[in-house]
Amino acid sequence: MTVNEFEAELRKVAVEGYYDKHEFHKLLHGGKLNRGQLQAWALNRYYFQACAPRKDATLISRSGSRDFRREWTLRLLDHDGFGQDEGGLERWLKLTDGLGLARNDVLAMRGVLPETVKTVEGYLDYVRTKPFVAAVATTLTELLAPKLHRERMTSMIDAYPFLDKEILTYFKQRFTHAPRDASFALDYVKRNACSREDQVACLAAVTYKCSMLTALLDALFDAYVRGNIPPGAFTPSLELVKR
Amino acid sequence: MTVNEFEAELRKVAVEGYYDKHEFHKLLHGGKLNRGQLQAWALNRYYFQACAPRKDATLISRSGSRDFRREWTLRLLDHDGFGQDEGGLERWLKLTDGLGLARNDVLAMRGVLPETVKTVEGYLDYVRTKPFVAAVATTLTELLAPKLHRERMTSMIDAYPFLDKEILTYFKQRFTHAPRDASFALDYVKRNACSREDQVACLAAVTYKCSMLTALLDALFDAYVRGNIPPGAFTPSLELVKR
């Protein structure tokens, strides 16, 4: 594939596999979740968020290029904060606070679905063990994130009046950072996936990442919409599941 | 061991094993190396320097604590630079430039001793695979680095008139950063090596690190003082080995 064909394929795979068509996602953005379901979403999603700096540090640890590491270190600063900036993880905790979850439970990841744990830990393994350029390519779903975060910010403020703007600041920060990150990663992948084999590995990596994000929503849907909450998993209190 | 006994043991192991008593080190600081030997030292040491950000990112990737990651990320910024700061690796390249080595050769690590490669890559494996607190403890040799860097700065400026102060800025920067890094790491190890087994693993880690640093100097001594330069390794040009 030429570089342009390769980029078009990457974008196609990302768009087709992206989780914005998932039923749980539609319920979330459509304001159809009750507060208990929102809590379950935020708690499980926190497990994924908390793995992000570890995933990014893994990529940094695998790179022999100072330029790559310098750029990718910006992601660590975004997640964990730097100086006065509290960082994205802390902003996510503001969301779980705002939803009424006990912070210590969230930090200890108490009640997270087994499927979430398995899926996220599998992602860390993927990034540690796959060819480096494919590991980088897993992040390309971020090409689609800004649009989704913008929608989420608007639709969730409208749909869930008990969530104030303050609580959703995480998504606002990502408006500026996600495009910067995604464009660096796309450029890197295009320049470094030189062989057919590399390109195929990168396309497989985007497919993998989409299926991984989908698996997180499948698990939430099964447990908290269908009601198959596994033993030990977070169970919303009764008054929060009334709409 | 109590925490105080443990700290005393850690310091004892570090002091006893530290490479400042090595013959090659004495030649270096005593102004006894010719320019060709200095080049060989700087080139091989660059391989070790270049692994530092990867080692630090590995530790970050293994930590579930945001506080640990935030602190340790400062090391990445020190090595690779941040914003206007060029970073420690770039300052090390100023030293190899100043010694007359071609920068492209240094960046490609052309002519680095096989023993250097093996030793440094072994260190990265150690940090990736050993118990986390022991992996952190490998960095405790930095407790001794500031004194050594200060001596190096003074003695090398006196001993090698062709090296100007500018070229040695790497060591100057470490005056302030190494104590900050080492005191955080020592505090972390003391608080987190709770069992006898952990403490023993940490002491073994400091011993390992000392032997690893010694192995780097052994290889330099054998190749460039005794003259057993292996095939393919950097060979100084004849006029640089005259004193």
The complex's ipTM? Answer: 0.90
CB contacts of B54 in chain A (<8 Å) are: 60-64
| CA–CA distance, A106 with A111 (Å, rounded to integer) | 9
**DSSP state, A138?**
G
Best mutation target among B69, B82, B86 (most A Cβ atoms within 10 Å) is B69
pLDDT of residue B242: 67
Q: Looking at the partner chain, which of B54, B66, B80 has a beta carbon nearest the beta carbon of A73?
A: B80
Q: Is residue A161 part of a domain?
A: yes
Phi, psi of A153 (to 5 degrees): -60, -50
Nearest Cα residue to A147 out of A25, A9, A8: A25
pLDDT of residue B63: 97
Interaxial angle between packed helices A169-192 and A145-159, expressed in degrees from 0 to 180 and rounded to the nearest 10: 160
Q: Which domain holds residue A34?
A: 3-229
| CA–CA distance, A92 with A169 (Å, rounded to integer) | 8
Q: What would the two tokens of residue B52 be?
A: 């530092």
B53 confidence band (pLDDT: 50, 70, 90): very high
Q: Is residue A235 part of a domain?
A: no
Residue of B nearest to A128 (CA): B61
Q: Is residue B241 part of a domain?
A: no
Q: Looking at the partner chain, which of B73, B80, B87 has a beta carbon nearest the beta carbon of A77?
A: B73
Partner A contacted by B73 (CB < 8 A): yes
Q: Which residue has the higher pLDDT, A243 or B85?
A: B85
pLDDT of residue A243: 55
| CA–CA distance, A191 with A181 (Å, rounded to integer) | 16
pLDDT digits (tens, 9 = 90+) for B18-44: 888 999 999 998 889 999 999 999 999
What are residue A82's DSSP bridge partners?
A85
The length of chain A, given as a count of residues: 243
- DSSP letter string, chain B: --HHHHHHHHHHHHHHH-GGGSHHHHHHHTT---HHHHHHHHHHHHHHHHHHHHHHHHHHHT---HHHHHHHHHHHHHHH-BTTB--HHHHHHHHHHHTT--HHHHHTTTT--HHHHHHHHHHHHHHHHS-HHHHHHGGGGGGSHHHHHHHHHHHHHHH-TTS-GGGGHHHHHHHHHHHHHHHHHHHHHHHH--SHHHHHHHHHHHHHHHHHHHHHHHHHHHHHTS--PPTTS----GGGS--
pLDDT digits (tens, 9 = 90+) for B214-228: 999 999 999 999 999
Q: What is the pLDDT along chain A (243 residues), one digit of tens a residue?
A: 999 999 999 999 999 999 889 999 999 988 999 999 999 999 999 999 999 999 999 999 999 999 999 999 999 999 999 988 899 999 999 999 999 999 999 999 999 999 999 999 999 999 999 999 999 999 999 988 777 777 777 777 788 887 777 777 777 777 777 788 889 999 999 999 999 999 999 999 999 999 999 999 999 999 999 999 999 999 998 877 765
A-to-B residue pairs, Cβ atoms closer than 8 angstroms: 72
B39, B99 in Cβ contact below 8 A? Answer: yes
The length of chain B, given as a count of residues: 243
| CA–CA distance, B204 with B199 (Å, rounded to integer) | 9
Rounded to two decimals, what is the model's pTM? 0.93
By CB neighbour count within 10 A (0-12 exposed, 13-18 middle, 19+ buried), where does B103 fall? exposed
Helix (H, G, I), strand (E, B) or coil at A166: helix
pLDDT of residue A239: 77
CB contacts of B61 in chain A (<8 Å) are: 54-55, 57-58, 60-61, 128
Query: What CATH number did the domain enclosing A124 receive?
Result: 1.20.910.10
Q: Looking at the partner chain, which of B58, B62, B89 has a beta carbon nearest the beta carbon of A66?
A: B89
| CA–CA distance, B17 with A26 (Å, rounded to integer) | 62
pLDDT of residue B148: 77
Residue of B nearest to A84 (CA): B70
Q: A66: distance to nearest CA of chain B, Å? A: 6
For B156, residues 6+ apart whose C-beta sits below 8 A from its C-beta are B28, B29, B31, B163, B168
CB contacts of A81 in chain B (<8 Å) are: 66, 70
pLDDT of residue A148: 78
pLDDT of residue B92: 92
Q: Looking at the partner chain, which of B73, B89, B90 has a beta carbon nearest the beta carbon of A73?
A: B73
For residue B144, is pLDDT > 90? no
CB contacts of B47 in chain A (<8 Å) are: none
CB contacts of A80 in chain B (<8 Å) are: 66, 69-70, 73
Cβ contact (<8 Å) for A73 and B77? yes
Count of domains for chain A: 1
Helix (H, G, I), strand (E, B) or coil at A228: coil
Q: What would the two tokens of residue B215 be?
A: 């192995």
Phi, psi of B172 (to 5 degrees): -65, -45
| CA–CA distance, B130 with B59 (Å, rounded to integer) | 11
pLDDT digits (tens, 9 = 90+) for B155-203: 777 888 877 777 777 777 777 777 888 899 999 999 999 999 999 999 9
